[in-house]
Amino acid sequence: MPQVALIVQQAEALFCELDKLPIARRVEALNQLRRQLHRHSPFADQPVDCVQWVPAETVEGNDYNPNTVAPPEMALLERSIDADGFTQPIVSHVEDDRHIVVDGFHRQRVGKSKRIRERIHGYLPIVSIRLAQAGRAERIAATIRHNRARGVHAVPSMTDIVVALLRSGWSEKDVERNLGMDADEVVRFKQVSGLPELFRDHEYSRSWE
Overall average pLDDT of the 12-20 stretch: 89
**Taken in order 127, 128, 132, 138, is the CA torsion positive or negative?**
positive
Is the Cβ–Cβ distance between 101 and 142 less than 8 Å? no
Is the Cβ–Cβ distance between 31 and 52 less than 8 Å? yes
Q: Which residues pair with 59 in a beta bridge?
A: 99
Of the two residues 126 and 180, the one the predictor is more confident about is 126
CA 171/CA 193 separation, integer angstroms: 16
Query: Percentage of the chain surpassing pLDDT 90?
Result: 47
Overall average pLDDT of the 123-144 stretch: 83
Q: pLDDT, tens digit, for every residue of 41-59?
A: 999 999 999 999 999 999 9
CA 70/CA 91 separation, integer angstroms: 21
Q: pLDDT, tens digit, for every residue of 67-107?
A: 677 788 889 999 999 999 999 999 999 988 899 999 999 99
Q: What's the predicted TM-score (pTM) here?
A: 0.74
Residue 204 has pLDDT above 50, yes or no: no
User: Confidence band (pLDDT; 50, 70, 90) for 177?
Assistant: confident
